[in-house]
Structure 1
Amino acid sequence: MNYTTQMDAAKKGIITKEMEIVASKENMKVEELRELVAEGKVAIPANKNHKTLSAEGVGQGLKTKINVNLGISKDCPECEKELEKVRVALEMKAEAIMDLSNYGKTEGMRKRIVEMSTAMLGTVPIYDAVGFYDKELKDITAEEFLQVVEKHGEDGVDFITIHAGINREAIKTIKENKRLTNIVSRGGSLLFAWMELNNKENPFYEHFDKLLDICEKYDMTISLGDSLRPGSIADSTDANQIKELIVLGELTKRAWERNVQIIVEGPGHMALNEIESNMVIQKKLCHGAPFYVLGPLVTDVAPGYDHITSAIGGAIAATYGADFLCYVTPAEHLRLPNLDDMKEGIIATKIAAHAADIAKGIKGAREWDNKMSKARADIDWNTMFDLALDKEKAERYRAESKPHDEESCTMCGKMCSMRTMKKILNGEDLNILRD
């Protein structure tokens, strides 16, 4: 039986090879996964032209996935540095990479990432449009925006961020509900500018059916961009954010009718006490579609440490329904992240994702922690290192401060509680003062 997309196959009762791969990774029955894909509650972004992909699922009942942003800009145009980030991100087992390149002809870099990446690849086509056509934003036509989307589909991109929810009605709401930080979404601000400069409707909203034609052709998942996400805790859960979310829910249903998979993007910056309710609202308004959040950052006053403010919010968001976390690095709000920034961002986000998976009861999540705890009780350093989320750092820290007694560490020495309990329970002499 033929099918056009993962969702089309799922609705027809077909088990695809991508579903089998995801089910195996998730320790889930493939039939259970197929039903979730058919309902839109799980997305498997898998462009037909991405031949190196090892498929991942995003959504209900699955492990929380993380995304790594990278890409060239006018100030930092060196492709090789960004491709090195891709290699390291893959080594660190990031499930998704987004190429946010916004300068020059980006096709070459995008194709190289598709060729080398086993992780799913995302892009934001509107970032590419100005360089692709070598035109000012105002002069790009609606048809040309769609042609860029088609090019990304041809190149093998698995999911695309499309800011289709910021329509003329939303702009009216923006002007009537003033914000402290206005529109902080780069794609959203570009579309706002295009609409105002041309006095026209958002081309991705107006021509959403044509967009669906392209995505169905390549089985490209749409990540519905949150143009009006809050960029400060002062602006969270306001009329602008909720207005757009309602539109994104409507677009989700239209996409599903065409068997196009959807992920919905969410906040942003948000105080801790608002996160749970926002996750519930999103899932309700967007019919259980997978939810992808940037953070949320829970305070605005920690530049240089926003991987931490983001991980705090991400752990809470994923506990209450978010399925996909976009990493944030220490360089957020300050500069393009370097390789070390990227590593810190990945680790912080993986910690958040895993903490949430424990809370959600995801299969196998707690077992990892139990193995680490047993290794600590056994004072089995090699096993501890093998189980560590960041093995290199754990080994380096221990090597930098060698204990007198190899069993313990330099924090407690022979007063180590694990050492004490192990020796006493084994009927051995404790021997704290003597060599």
Structure 2
Amino acid sequence: MATQMQMAREGKITDAMKQVALDEHLSPEVIRAGVAKGVIAIPCNINHKGLKPRGVGEGLRVKVNANIGTSSTYPEVAPELDKLAEAVKCGADAVMDLSTGNNIDKSRKEIIEHSPVMVGTVPLYQATVRAIKEHGAVVEMTEEDILETIEKQAKDGADFMTLHCGVTLAAVERMRKQGRIMDIVSRGGSFIAGWMLHNERENPLYEHFDKILDICETYDVTLSLGDGMRPGCTADATDRGQLTELITLGELVDRAWRRGVQVMVEGPGHVPYDQIAANMKLEKRLCRNAPFYVLGPLVTDVAPGYDHITAAIGGTLAAVSGADFLCYVTPAEHLALPTIEDVHTGVITSRIAAHAADMVRGVPGAVEWDRKMAEARKILDWDAQLELAIDPELARKKRGERNKAGEEACSMCGDYCAVKIISKYFDKPQCPCND
């Protein structure tokens, strides 16, 4: 069976392309052309049943991902399914299953089965857990462990996979020579870097890239080239290790596209505000405008408990500057496994950042949404305002708790509502003599 990219290059408009076109208010031909070129990806594994395809990339609405999944501390899958439901309810376009608990296969299969949005995975997590159980240490992991895990997750229906193919010996050595405060903070990046340094061998994800492409082509898995060298603090941003990896990822984009495999590229991380635009432009240049998927970026390191805000500040600028896909950050970032409330806050906050960028990017309907809200506020139409809110439940709750029933103004201004006062003068009929 052909991939979405292969069919697009043959001039075929698939059902997935039609669905994306409908959602984005664009013509199916625009979507087909973008997929054929590689600037749009539609992650939709042939084995993910019940999926509503979404597009990521050039000219499309900025998408939002929510990370969920079990851990060794919290191994039960039921709470993660609740988080999945909450993320979808809040408007997430994707979820990533980052499970490392006792039964990773069960977690992944149930999340994919219950998810109407695209699901991403990180196969190296499961391969690492397997290596510890079977061989006693991460560094004893074999190439077969990795490739078998990738194929298993592809068969199960993972729509996109984060694979840290660009963490090469050269990138690690450049990072070490320049020096970093936080070294490597990516879990997948640290696993593979540790394996490489212990075994004195090149990254097997890089060496066996063609075998990975075979798997992705078979199941139409979108390859999400992971940023294993991403900076873990603002002081480490845009260094030699990060950029060496990015150059390698650009070369791997070319190889994937030659095979007709869809690709996204992942990016930082912790980045000072004044470096964000340059980072986005570098990725787009080196990776030929492949869709760019970023974590944040977080613009400061000092806000644990509020990192959803530091990520939103960076996320809007990143998306205005070229990023296409924002991975949410929750208030629990750097602190704990997120709760369902953290998931809610993380998704809504990232959606705000994405929408602010959509208005600037010229995404159809983005500016109109804000205009409708302004028109509703102008006439104090509370029902319309609450319906248009990005988080209607929270807006209704606050409105109901802090205002008397039927009150036209809000309790902040009360009798001194500026909108109400000025409307008495601006909205009354003008005297003909003033024309």
TM-score above 0.5: yes
**TM-score category, normalised to shorter length:** over 0.9
For residues 47-196 of structure 1, the aligned pairs below 5 Å read 47-132=45-130, 134-135=133-134, 136-196=137-197
Aligned to 1:302: 303
Following superposition, the deviation at residue 171 of structure 1 comes to: 2.0
Amino acid at match of 1:386: E
Aligned to 2:319: 318
Say which SS state the counterpart of residue 223 (structure 2) adopts. Answer: strand
The answer to whether residue 277 in structure 2 is matched with residue 279 in structure 1 is no
> Does the aligned pair in 2 maintain the 1:104–1:131 contact within 8 Å?
no
**Percent of pairs with identical residues:** 51
Q: 1:405 to 1:88 in 2, by over 3 A?
A: closer
> Does the aligned pair in 2 maintain the 1:403–1:413 contact within 8 Å?
no
Following superposition, the deviation at residue 422 of structure 1 comes to: 2.7
Say which SS state the counterpart of residue 51 (structure 2) adopts. Answer: coil
Structure 1: give runs of 5+ residues left out of the alignment.
Answer: 429-435
Aligned to 2:25: 27
Following superposition, the deviation at residue 427 of structure 1 comes to: 3.9
Structure 2: give runs of 5+ residues left out of the alignment.
Answer: 430-435
The answer to whether residue 402 in structure 2 is matched with residue 401 in structure 1 is yes
CA displacement 1:5-34 (0-9 Å, x = unmatched)? 000001110111000000110011111111
Aligned to 1:431: none
> Does the aligned pair in 1 maintain the 2:24–2:60 contact within 8 Å?
yes
Following superposition, the deviation at residue 130 of structure 1 comes to: 3.1
Following superposition, the deviation at residue 403 of structure 1 comes to: 4.3
Aligned to 1:14: 12
For residues 187-336 of structure 1, the aligned pairs below 5 Å read 187-336=188-337
The two structures have a TM-score, normalised by structure 1, of 0.96
Following superposition, the deviation at residue 242 of structure 1 comes to: 0.6
> Does the aligned pair in 2 maintain the 1:47–1:156 contact within 8 Å?
yes
Q: Aligned residue pairs: how many?
A: 426
CA displacement 1:202-240 (0-9 Å, x = unmatched)? 111000000000000000001000011111110111111
CA displacement 1:36-90 (0-9 Å, x = unmatched)? 1111000000000001110000000000000000111111112111110011111
Aligned to 1:347: 348
How many angstroms apart in 1 are the aligned matches of 2:415 and 2:378? 14
Following superposition, the deviation at residue 424 of structure 1 comes to: 3.1
CA displacement 1:151-178 (0-9 Å, x = unmatched)? 0000000000000001122122122111
How many angstroms apart in 2 are the aligned matches of 1:196 and 1:265? 23
CA displacement 1:302-337 (0-9 Å, x = unmatched)? 000000000000000000100000000011000111
Amino acid at match of 2:369: W
Say which SS state the counterpart of residue 226 (structure 1) adopts. Answer: coil
Aligned to 2:433: none
How many angstroms apart in 2 are the aligned matches of 1:115 and 1:78? 16
Amino acid at match of 2:162: T
How many angstroms apart in 1 are the aligned matches of 2:26 and 2:126? 38
Aligned to 2:432: none
> Does the aligned pair in 2 maintain the 1:103–1:128 contact within 8 Å?
no
Residue 42 (structure 1) aligned to one of 40, 43, 57: 40
How many angstroms apart in 2 are the aligned matches of 1:263 and 1:427? 55
Say which SS state the counterpart of residue 271 (structure 2) adopts. Answer: coil
How many angstroms apart in 2 are the aligned matches of 1:221 and 1:236? 27
> Does the aligned pair in 2 maintain the 1:67–1:327 contact within 8 Å?
yes
Larger mean Cα displacement after TM superposition, 211-220 or 174-183 = 174-183
Say which SS state the counterpart of residue 255 (structure 1) adopts. Answer: helix
Say which SS state the counterpart of residue 68 (structure 1) adopts. Answer: strand
How many angstroms apart in 2 are the aligned matches of 1:177 and 1:416? 58
How many angstroms apart in 2 are the aligned matches of 1:39 and 1:401? 52
Following superposition, the deviation at residue 426 of structure 1 comes to: 4.4
CA displacement 1:240-273 (0-9 Å, x = unmatched)? 1111000000000000000011000001001111
Say which SS state the counterpart of residue 122 (structure 1) adopts. Answer: strand
How many angstroms apart in 2 are the aligned matches of 1:269 and 1:21? 34
How many angstroms apart in 1 are the aligned matches of 2:400 and 2:387? 15
How many angstroms apart in 2 are the aligned matches of 1:23 and 1:402? 42
How many angstroms apart in 1 are the aligned matches of 2:426 and 2:269? 51
Larger mean Cα displacement after TM superposition, 38-47 or 197-206 = 197-206
Q: 1:264 to 1:336 in 2, by over 3 A?
A: same
How many angstroms apart in 2 are the aligned matches of 1:342 and 1:295? 15
CA displacement 1:330-370 (0-9 Å, x = unmatched)? 11000111111111111110000000000111111000000
